Amino acid sequence: MRTPLFLLFLLVAACKTAQQTQVPPPPPPAERPSWVDSRPVTGSYYVGIGVAPKSSPDHMESAKKNALNDLASEISVTVEGNSLLYTLDTRSSFSENYTSSVRTRTSQQLEGFELVDSWDNGTEHWTYYRLSKAEHARIKAERKRKAFDQAVDLHTRSATGLASGDLRSAFDQGLRALLAIRDYWGEADQLELDGRTVNLANELYADLQRLIADVRLELLPERCELNYADHFKRELLIRARIERSGTARDLGQLPLVISFPGSSGRVHAQKNTDPDGHARVTVERIDLAATSKEVVVRLDLENLVNADLDPVAVKPLLAGLAAPEARAPIDVRMPKVFLRATENNFGKPAGASGVSVALREELGRRGFRFVEREGECDMVMNLEADTREGGTASGFFTAYLDVTISYFDHRTGDLIHQGGKQGLKGVQLTYEKAGLEAYKKGAQDLRNELVPALLNAVL
């Protein structure tokens, strides 16, 4: 039986359709490269391997960053024994922070690296970079040359600023010269500077030290005397100069910090010298109990540093500089006092039991001088004290003491201060003993309250 021609045509077409719709098998997974399992070792290249999970955003960029950081870590940062870093490093933490900082900047500034390979296993992305050691050495040498040229130029500008008496500019340019080569502080490169072959970093730092060491601060007068006649206030003149090569020059706009012991805590003031190198400070309201009474004027190194400079790098540099200072002892001459005291206990003189004894002791301890003749004094004190009956109860007698103290300027007669205490209570078996008890409390209150109030008014 013959098969119809159209049936054969249908069978052939069906076979072709089946062949066209057949799905090809998935490609075999990429073979795991050897550099993933075993880090390549080569003497001609620095190697960086980085990996990042594909679940993280920007996993390809993260793998690249990790690879470059890994590559930068292979570039060793050594500290030579005669380098600036070796001199500055009094604590190992600074050296560690420095080398970490250099590595971070190295990874950010890497040039000439090349992508060798990358691999993806479905869950992780791996990246392999390498950098020719010879190419890196060439790039580093070029960068170092530019940095050293910049440092020498800044050093020249520093010298120019100093020649014009602008120490602030000279210090700033000298500091910037050092920071320009901060990546090379651990090295001991030699080059010619000002006609001498020197280690540049060490020489620039030594120049900063010499610059600060040549600053001279002077206080006039050399001793600060505070007395009653001047209301315990004195203005001091500060003079700032730089002495170098046998010549002296006034330093204008020089930042200074001034301190002395104040009655409310240590006083700190900041001043800048005027164009003539002068500044003034008023010393007043001194802490009489301070163990060391002196005015201290010091060059404010921190305020010489511009805010745009990296404080992490600047701090160890400043730590090695001895800020010049000037000191003036403070001599406090308390006033001579003539005391008029009227103290009664129920109409009878209180004698040695009165509060005037405590007043003399307390003021004498603070430096006041008591005189026996009114004509010799600076200040007159009038003290009046008397007791009054407060009643009896259960066999006990109550007395109240009223104390008034007035202080006058002997020369002008002006009232300086007036104070007192009213109704100081004493309880005893008789009115007389109760009055003496009230006087004891009065003496204590005088020491704790009345004398400090007088000092506050006088000083």
Architecture of domain 34-135: Roll (3.10)
Report the pLDDT averaged over residues 348-363: 92
Pick the CATH number of 336-458 from 3.20.20.70, 3.30.160.180, 3.20.20.100, 3.40.50.150: 3.30.160.180
pLDDT of residue 221: 96
Mean of all residue pLDDT scores within the chain: 88
* pLDDT, tens digit, 9 for 90 and up, residues 163-180: 888 999 999 999 999 999
Q: How far apart are CA 354 and CA 384, in angstroms?
A: 10
Q: Is the distance from CB of 216 to CB of 132 less than 8 angstroms? A: no
| pLDDT for the residue 93 | 56
Residue 339, pLDDT > 90, answer yes
Percent of the chain with pLDDT over 70: 89
Q: Looking at this protein, which amino acid is placed at residue 70?
A: D
Boundaries of every domain in the chain: 34-135, 137-213, 215-300+324-333, 336-458
Instruction: Look at the domain 215-300+324-333 and name its fold.
Output: Immunoglobulin-like (2.60.40)
Residue 114 near residue 129, CB atoms below 8 Å: yes
Q: Quick: pLDDT tens for 290-329.
A: 889 999 999 999 999 999 998 888 988 898 899 999 999 9
Crossing angle of helices 167-180 and 200-213, rounded to 10°: 160
- Tens digit of each residue's pLDDT (9 = 90 or more) over 224-248: 999 999 999 999 999 999 998 888 9
DSSP for residue 446: I
pLDDT at res. 1? 43
- 35: tokens are 């550099």
Judge if 215-300+324-333 and 336-458 fold alike in CATH terms. Answer: no
33 against 90, higher pLDDT: 33
- pTM of the entire predicted model: 0.73
